[in-house]
Amino acid sequence: MPTLHDHAHIGGQTLRPESLMMSYGYIPAWSEGAIKPPIFQTSTFVFSSAEQGKAYFELAYGLRQANPDEEMGLIYSRLNNPSLEILEHRLTLWDGAEDAASFASGMAAISTTLLALLKPGDVVLHSEPVYGGSDFFLKNVLPKFGITAVGFRPTATPEELTAQVAGIEQGRLAMIFVETPANPTNHLVDLEACAALARQHGTPEHPIRLVVDNTFLGPVFQHPLKHGADVVLYSATKFLGGHSDLIAGAALANKALMKEIKAMRTFMGTMCDPNTGWMLMRSLETLKLRMERAAQSAQTIADWLRQHPLVARTYYLTHLEHCPAQQDIYRRHCLSPGSMISFDIKGGEAEAFRFLNALRLIKLAVSLGGTESLAEHPATMTHSDISVPEQAEMGITAQMIRLSIGVEDPQDLMLDLEQAFAAVGMAQARELELA
Ligand SMILES: *Cc1c(COP(=O)(O)O)cnc(C)c1O
C-alpha cells in the first residue's frame, strides 16, 4: 500500500515543501485517479463492519493503544476528514512539525490551544501588543476560568523577562504566548530567550509551553519550532489562505501536544470545514511564490518610503540599524523582512486619513497577507480598543499607517502611494495659503 511519505524523497534527498504542495499526503488511485483531491463534503463515514467501528472508537476515545501498523480510521467530520488530513500533513512540512490541526479561524486555533493546555490557577506570560482578538481572549475570557494573563514588552531584555518570571508564584506559570513580529510595530521577540526561560523554570510536573503566533512571517520566513517553541499557531486567513476569501486557522506541534489540542478541537467543534480545507490546499501551492514576491516588493517600497519627504519614520525589519538587539533577533529568526510595512506620515491623524482616503489601487481595509495590497490606520482601527496612553507606550501613533503589500507590480503601488502623498501635500499647501 502506498504511504504518505512515498513522494517526499528522491534518491535519499528530502524534497522542499514548495515541491510537495501539489501531491504530498494524497494518493490519486484512492480517488478515481483525480490529480486533485476531491472535497470530501461529508459529515460521516461508513464502517466496513461493526468490528471496524468498534476499533476506530477505541482509538478515538483512547480506550486502548494503537497497534504498531494501525492508523486512526475515519469516523465523523468533527473528528477527522480526508480534506483536512491532507491539508494538515502538508502544513507540517513548512515548520518541520510532527503534526498539525486545521481550525475554523485563527481565533479558533488560538482559543482551542490555550484552553487545551491551561487549567485554573495557571498564569500565561504574553508579549504585548498581540492581535486584538488574542488580547481580548487573554484578558477577558481566560480570567473566567481562573487563568491569569501577564503582559511583557517585546523590547524587554532577557534580565527584565527573568525578573518578571521570578515574580510569578512557583509552579503557576504554564505558558509563554508570543506574537512576533508584533502588529503593527514589527517589534521582534527573542524566541530563544523565551524558550530558555521556559526550560529553566518548567518541571516535568509543571511544564511551561512556548506558544507562538507565527501569522506575520510564517510559515515561509520564520520557523519557531526550530528556535525552541512548543506550539506554532496561524491565522490561515492571512498568508496561508492568501486571497482574502476565507477564514481559517492552524496549530502545529509534536504528536503528544497535538493529541491534547485535537481532543479539545473535537469537543469544542472548532475544526475547519472540508471546502475551506480544499481552498487552503489550492493556496498552499503558490504560498512561497506569493510570499517571496510580496516581500521583494515590500523591501523596494519600504526603502522608497524611508527617504520620502512626507514620511517621518518606517517600521520594517531591514530598517533596524538604530536597535542592535532587534537586529540580532532578526538575523537569528527571520529569513526575510516579509511584506508588512508600517510608517509614520508627517503630521497626525488628519494627514493619515487624507492619505488613506486618496489611495486608489491599494484598498482601505484591515486584514493582511492577501494578493491585494491593503492599508489601514492601527490607532483608530485594528488597535482602537487599546487606550491612547497604552498605544503610545507600544509605539502606536496617530500618524501611523500599516500596509500589507500584495503581488501587484511594485512600481504601480508606488505610483498610487505617491499620488496619495501628493493629495496630502496639496491639502497642506492649501491650508498654508488660507492661514
Ligand atoms: C488575523 C489574526 C489573528 C486572528 O485570525 P482570524 O483568522 O481572523 O480568526 C490572530 N493572530 C494574528 C497575528 C492575526 O493577524
pLDDT at 60: 87
Nearest to 425 by CA among 355, 325, 326: 355
Cell of 221: 520566513
Active-site position among 24, 26, 56, 131: 131
Q: Where is pLDDT greater, at 3 or 260?
A: 260
Q: Average pLDDT of 258-270?
A: 96
pLDDT tens string 281-297: 999 999 999 999 999 99
Q: Which of 70-79, 107-116, 201-210, 424-433 has the least mean pLDDT?
A: 424-433
Q: Is 139 among the catalytic positions?
A: no
Q: Which of the four pLDDT bands, split at 50, 70 and 90, describes residue 432?
A: confident
pTM attached to this predicted model = 0.95
Q: Is the pLDDT of residue 429 over 80?
A: no
C-alpha 409 to ligand 1 mean position (Å)? 26
For the residues 223-251, what does the mean pLDDT come to?
A: 98
Q: 423 CA distance to ligand 1 centroid (A)?
A: 32
Mean pLDDT, residues 94-110 taken together? 98
Identify the structural domains of the chain with CATH numbers, from first to last: 14-32+80-284 (3.40.640.10), 43-76 (no CATH), 287-434 (3.90.1150.10)
Phi, psi for 413 (deg, rounded to 5): -65, -40
Q: 425 falls in which pLDDT band (50, 70, 90)?
A: confident
Least confident of 5-9, 215-219, 323-327: 5-9
In order, the DSSP letters of 339-405 are SEEEEEESS-HHHHHHHHHH-SSSEE-S--SSSS-EEE-TTTTTTTTS-HHHHHHHT--TTEEEEE-
Q: How many angstroms separate the alpha carbon of residue 238 from the centre of ligand 1?
A: 7
Cβ neighbour number for residue 231 with a 10 Å cutoff: 28
In order, the DSSP letters of 102-136 are EESSHHHHHHHHHHHH--TT-EEEEESS--HHHHH
Question: What per-residue confidence (pLDDT) applies to 279?
Answer: 98
Cα–Cα distance, 388 to 403 (Å, whole number)? 21
Strands 400-404 and 374-376: antiparallel
- pLDDT value for 431: 78
Pocket of ligand 1 (CB under 6 A): 105-107, 131, 133-134, 179, 183, 213, 215, 235, 237-238, 247, 249
Q: Given the residues 95, 190, 213, 273, select the one marked as catalytic.
A: 213
| pLDDT surpassing 90 at residue 222 | yes
Mean pLDDT of the chain: 95
pLDDT of residue 155: 85
- Residue 9 CA from chain centroid, whole number: 28
Using 50, 70 and 90 to split pLDDT, how confident is the model at 45?
very high
Number of helices (H), then strands (E), in the chain: 14, 14
User: One of 78, 139, 346, 363 is an active-site residue; which one?
Assistant: 78
pLDDT above 80: residue 6: no
Confidence of residue 5 (pLDDT cuts 50, 70, 90): low
Residues 122-131 have a mean pLDDT of: 95
- Which band of pLDDT confidence, cut at 50, 70 and 90, is reported for residue 17? very high
Stretch 335-364: mean pLDDT: 98
Q: Per-residue pLDDT tens for 50-93?
A: 999 999 999 988 889 888 888 889 999 999 999 999 999 999 99
